[in-house]
Each structure stands twice: as structure tokens, then as C-alpha cells.
Amino acid sequence: MNIAILGGTGKEGAGLGARWALAGHSIIIGSRDGERARGKAAEMREKTKKLTIIGHSNLDAARLGDVVVLALPAVGLDATLRPLADACRGKVVVSTVVPLTFGGPRLFTPPAAGSSAEEAQALLPDAKVVAAFHHIAAHELAETEHAIECDLLTCGGDAAAKAVVTELGASMGLRTLDVGPLSNAGPIEGITAILATINRRYKLKNSGIKITGV
């Protein structure tokens, strides 16, 4: 699969890209700075020994990707995504975005839309947005020689789009659970704040979540 990762120079995006490249997918690292994206892609090619990783601006990455993954900061999502609406038209867009605010009175600070995924869907009205991959720590993704001990929770309004995300999860060894419509993205994103708190309290880097009884 040809996967564009917007914000792919960050730890989460680069970790996802490395895992998918090792699973045989082609990766396009996107960034506001195309040169930075190309530099990160070169670094990832060296690390993974996979040549199918390239770098472009966010706009060009979105145009080239069959699937577009948002690994962007929650702040400024409007400014980043609005110019990409045409490039994302008809595509599966996977939102990994979590609206966290460190140092404030609330760690989880959802936007007016209810979640970053719903905000992304409003900004990309002709895309098929699926919320997923929030609960896999960047540290866990980076340790590519180890399997990930975590379930993948997804939600969205398009069954075919969720099937694509299930395939992406399976390619990195994850069990996927469909937790309903995109309106459930807020609770899913909020779990990340709980995991961040657990990591801090128990001096961990990679707490995750598994669903029992399924």
C-alpha cells in the first residue's frame, strides 16, 4: 500500500512509517518543510534498509498517497488540513491526532468538534476519516525488532475505510477492534491521556491497552 504520513518527521509518524515499510508498504513522509521530510526519509531508509521511503511536502505527500495518515499536532490542524482537502478527496484518512495540553488544568483538551478526528473530517469533507493508532507509544513503534503488545481500536463512518485500517494494523501484527462511528473518537483519543499519566506515574514509556473477552 502507498501510505502518506503527514507530520511523518515526528516520533509517532516516523515509527509508524518504519513499521509499515518493514511490512512491505511504500511510505511517503510529509512535512511542512519538504527538505526536512526528505532528510527524515533518508534516515529511515538507512535504519530499515528499505528503499520505498521518500519525503515530500505535506501537500505533495497527500497527493501521492493512496492512504493518508495524520500524525500532526492537534494545535493548528485547521491551517494544515484545509489546503489539503482536494488532495485527500475520496481517500482513506487515518487520524492518529490526540489533543493533549501538557502543563494545563486538563491533559485531554478536545476541540469543539468533540475530537481531533471529527475536526479532521469537517476539514476534509470528501475524505473517509478513520480514528486509529492513538494508543501505540512512539517508543513502542521505534523498537521495530519487538512485537507490539497492544490492541488497535478504530472508529469511523465508512466500513470499507475501516477495513483498510484493519489491514494496516494487521501488517504490523495488531489485532483490530471496531468501536463504532467517528463520534466515538473523543473517548478513544482520551484514553491516550490516561496512558500518558500511567507512563509518568509508573516510569514507563510504552503502556498500552488490550480488550478482554473478545
* Digit-coded pLDDT (tens) for 83-113: 999 999 999 999 999 999 988 888 999 999 9
**Cβ–Cβ < 8 Å for 74, 97:** yes
Among 132, 62, 129, smallest CA distance to 98 is for 132
CA distance 208 to 47: 25
Note the pLDDT of residue 154.
98
Three-state SS for 99?
coil
Whole-structure pTM value: 0.97
Q: At residue 139, does pLDDT exceed 90?
A: no
Q: Left (φ > 0), alpha (ψ -120 to 50) or beta: where does 27 sit?
A: beta
pLDDT digit string (tens) for 160-214?
999 999 999 999 999 999 999 999 999 999 999 999 999 999 999 889 999 999 9
| Mean pLDDT in residue range 108-127 | 97
Note the pLDDT of residue 31.
97
Q: pLDDT tier at 26 (50, 70, 90 boundaries)? A: very high
C-alpha cell belonging to residue 123: 476539514
Look up the CATH architecture of domain 2-201. 3-Layer(aba) Sandwich (3.40)
Give the chain's end-to-end CA distance (angstroms, integer).
28
Domain ranges of the chain: 2-201
Among 63, 42, 156, 163, smallest CA distance to 21 is for 42
